[in-house]
Amino acid sequence: MNRKKKINETLKKKMKKANAKLNKSTKPRYISKAERAKLDAEAALVAETTDVVSDAIDDVNTESDAK
């Protein structure tokens, strides 16, 4: 009986590992603190340049309306 139990346990372990490899994790990928800070800095830079560009476009539109 002990031998059968041992064989069944090892087979169950192998099946469990195989199934775990097939099922991908649903949790999001870990992003380090430094990476988050870098992403925030890039987002701020993009927002700043967008503001500058939109201000420049507004200035051009007001100048053309004034003519």
3-state secondary structure labels for all residues of the chain: CHHHHHHHHHHHHHHHHHHHHHCCCCCCCCCCHHHHHHHHHHHHHHHHHHHHHHHHHHHHHHHHHHC
49-59 residues labelled b (16+ CB within 10 A) or e (exposed): eeeeeeeeeee
pLDDT tens digits along 16-53: 999 998 988 888 999 999 999 999 999 998 888 877 66
User: What's the rounded Cα separation, in Å, for the pair 55 and 61?
Assistant: 10
Residue 65: per-residue pLDDT: 59
Residue 25: per-residue pLDDT: 80
